[in-house]
A and B are shown apart, each in its own frame.
Chain A
């Protein structure tokens, strides 16, 4: 690929991000603006922003790469990513908005009336956020190396730099506009090349090298345990992702939080048709890319391969731009939510503290990413979902729907899920993908029930600790807001 194409595409996306970020700067003045854009973002804007933030490197590059590698087994990834939002809508969206909290630690502290729970939740949230940023930076390293030939570290450093500048300068208000723009950019970037590729293929000039059903690798198909465990991770993990949850506070009320989520589901469904198409076309026309490293670059390489000449270069530039939009938007969403948590817990919630916290939130994962090797992107993000599902999800679900939850139960549950799932992840990376038994490689099917069980049992044993504020809080979570409440 022409290296100028990659550099130009990245520069254009960064510039657009910065310009929209600074445009947003004029309207963010108070601390409240910085955190949640004053909760007055319209459902369509907000839904586009949620979509923009959620569609990460794993969705943009990883899904197509995994489909190339493992065929129909990998189709469960996009289905799970989308169905996770359905679960979020059914069990979390409206009550969480009505809780009036800014972050997950705010919610658990209010619900359980306990500073200790807040601290443990903050720790887990920061951990999840860092774990989730690392694959984004690995994606950026891969994209820079493949498309420009520059050293791989340039990608992560550039992404972190752009994110820090936008977040530190603009806060959440500009982030909303940036994210909304990036959803539509990503959709265009992934969809337009598919149309051109289908036109070229429809011309019938280049014959298929293999049928999509033919397995280009020696990978064994995954069994029912792996599929179910993956779906548990994706369905329950989405509920607890910090950057997803913080978005719901920008809805004016619970009903609009539901409407927003409904739109998000539509946006995600449309988007995921395209990575699936790349995977399928890739299986037929580029089976030679099916090795775990380059497979993730399928989306970047396929348009240039199938559509030659200047048109091919333009399409390549478009997908590269979309990929960088994915790294930038997910990373900045995570940095904003982590900065919100860190600044409130450590810096007392000032705007200055928020900026400092944003720098910390972005630089730590940059360090981790530079020291670790990239795995298959969709797979490593899948593990982060498993971790979230084993830690934050039980506390959130039980906190919203079960009156008996206590602070001791919440802490015990998060510790159990975190230790079990964390050990499985460490064991898996020490053993290597080939040596890891499937119950360790996909731990969610047993770590999530274990975390739920411990949370419930310990809460039962300590039922005297149910906070006195529980009744009022449950009422607030579940009853519709009145017209009066909107003037708050």
Chain B
């Protein structure tokens, strides 16, 4: 799984303002400190929303890619056992191979997928912060 490359300019052209969100909500409704309010106003402007939409799209794409990759590997395990003759009957250190593969082998795949996701998701957010001018 490579990192998801969604750069802001591409999304700006791809996701031009659509849908029912064209009228930003009034920031006054949120209350709170004025700094927070002005930041929310900034986020809800058309330009701010483009960055937000681009962030949401890249996070969703990242989640889907990792989930699909994991599911493919997971379903490859039983397929492999069914298709490769003799594999299901072989043993590792005296334990049946199919038990080891399904009972222990999937967990490292889950952990690796999760670790990749956490790293890339944080990177997507860091990129959003840079773009949105949020230090």
Contact = CB atoms under 8 A, between A and B. Distances in A.
A140 to B, nearest CB: 27
A470 B44 CA distance: 11
A242 B65 CA distance: 27
A83 B74 contact: yes
B102 interface: yes
Contacts of A261: 114, 118
Interface string B15-49: 00001110011000110000110011001100011
Interface string A448-472: 0000000000000001001011111
A262 B110 contact: no
A479 B52 contact: yes
Instruction: Name the residue among B25, B29, B43, B107 with the largest chain A CB count within 10 angstroms.
Output: B107
Contacts of B29: 469
User: Main secondary structure on chain B at its contact with chain A?
Assistant: helix
Contacts of B117: 89-90, 258
Contact of B96 (A89, A90, A212, A472): A212
B56 interface: yes
Contact of B74 (A79, A272, A482): A79
Nearest to B129: A480
Contacts of B107: 79, 82, 269, 272-273
Contact of B114 (A89, A273, A471, A484): A89
Contacts of B129: 480
Interface string B113-135: 11101100110010011001010
A78 B106 CA distance: 10
B103 interface: yes
Contacts of B121: 94, 258
B103 A258 contact: no
B102 A76 contact: yes
A83 B110 contact: yes
B56 A259 contact: no
A474 B52 CA distance: 9
A472 to B, nearest CB: 5
A78 B102 CA distance: 10
A86 B110 contact: yes
A16 B17 CA distance: 58
A213 interface: yes
B111 A265 contact: yes
Interface residues of A, number: 46
A272 B113 CA distance: 18
A261 B24 CA distance: 33
Contacts of A273: 103-104, 107
Instruction: Name the residue among B44, B66, B74, B118 with the largest chain A CB count within 10 angstroms.
Output: B118
Contacts of A470: 20-21
B60 interface: yes
Contacts of A463: 20
Contacts of A475: 40, 43-44, 48-49, 52
Given A89-B114, A212-B96, A470-B21, A478 B55 contact: yes
A82 B110 contact: yes
B32 to A, nearest CB: 9
Contacts of B44: 471-472, 475
A316 interface: no
B10 to A, nearest CB: 18
Interface in B63-118: 63, 66-67, 70, 74, 78, 95-96, 98-99, 102-104, 106-108, 110-111, 113-115, 117-118
13 contacts: A86-B113, A86-B114, A90-B63, A258-B118, A261-B118, A262-B114, A269-B107, A401-B60, A466-B20, A470-B21, A475-B43, A475-B44, A482-B39
Interface of B: 19-21, 24-25, 29-30, 35-36, 39-40, 43-44, 48-49, 52, 55-56, 59-60, 62-63, 66-67, 70, 74, 78, 95-96, 98-99, 102-104, 106-108, 110-111, 113-115, 117-118, 121-122, 125, 128-129, 132, 134
